[in-house]
Amino acid sequence: MGRDKSIGIAALVGSTFIYSTYGIITRLISDTFGAFSQNYYREIFSIALMVVFFGIYRNLWKKYERKDLVWIIVFALAGSSIMVFLYVSFNLLTLATTYFLYYSSMIITGYFLSWLLFKERIVGPKLLSLLLVCIGIGILYKFEVSANTMFPVATALVAGVLTGIYNVTSKKISGIYHPLQLYLPTSVFAFVIAIFGALLIREPLPHVSVTDTGTLWNTLSAAIALLSNTLIYIGFRKLPASLASTLLPLEAIFAAIFGLFIYHETLSSAIFVSGACIIIAAGLPDLISYFSKHENSNSNRSN
């Protein structure tokens, strides 16, 4: 294994591990922050860190091109409210159920938008992947969803739809920007929407204190978000996109393990089977694509 490949795999595994801790962090801050206040508080620090970063590394900042502006706005709006919806689900569902619902709607949305925006055909491995997602989500609904959990289930699904939009629309944006330059407008939109949402539902102001555990964890999560985004950037630069994409579902596996050992959340056979279907579906097309290209490359060399 080459050095670049090792760095890329380490970066993506590290990123998925970090992302999988958001469910834990959400529960740690729930006594201090509400769904909206946790978001606007965290984004203040995220924006400040990015302003400092680009103040130091000004050469990394590129002027936004006019043709990218519409897609940057769509991209930023989609990404701005994901954590608000996941906040609800993380606190009312098990971590595994939340992540599997989230991934299922993300995959379906991603395929639909890829067909709509890029005319990608949903055949072969992609069709099988879509079928596996439908089987997985069907099992979850039949055995794990009740009338009492419909709301957090819906918020997990909405978060997945928004992430699907966020991921696919990023492909419509020129690849000249540093990832944090795209994350910055997302944070700005997230801050504004969270303030508006908190005012709309009259969410109480958080009791912020330097000695409060929730405050410390939410402040730390701002730095964690920037670190995980940077690691994804490194991973996709060092690895083929098809191989890199197959590592992303590790996030759901890590989260399920955390839920099992930290919160003693049991993994029922329904969750286990549905989760396996959704995780396989997430990586199947890219994994097949990677090995197909690898085999073609080897056959060309031998010829």
pLDDT band with cut points at 50, 70 and 90 for residue 74: very high
**pLDDT of amino acid 241:** 62
pLDDT band with cut points at 50, 70 and 90 for residue 210: confident
**pLDDT of amino acid 69:** 95
**pLDDT of amino acid 43:** 93
Q: Region 163-172: what's the mean pLDDT?
A: 87
Total number of domains constituting the chain: 1
The secondary structure of the chain as a DSSP string is --HHHHHHHHHHHHHHHHHHTHHHHHHHHTTT--TTHHHHHHHHHHHHHHHHHHHH-GGG--PPPGGGHHHHHHHHHHHHSHHHHHHHHHHHS-HHHHHHHHHHHHHHHHHHHHHHHH-----THHHHHHHHHHHHHHHHHHHT--GGGHHHHHHHHHHHHHHHHHHHHGGGS-TTS-HHHHHHHHHHHHHHHHHHHHHHTTPPPP---TT-HHHHHHHHHHHHHHHHHHHHHHHHHHS-HHHHHHHTTHHHHHHHHHHHHHS-----HHHHHHHHHHHHHHHHHHHHHHHHHHHHHHHHHH-
pLDDT band with cut points at 50, 70 and 90 for residue 188: very high
Give the residue numbers spanning the domain of 71: 3-302
Average pLDDT, the chain: 87
Of all residues in the chain, the percent with pLDDT exceeding 90 is: 43
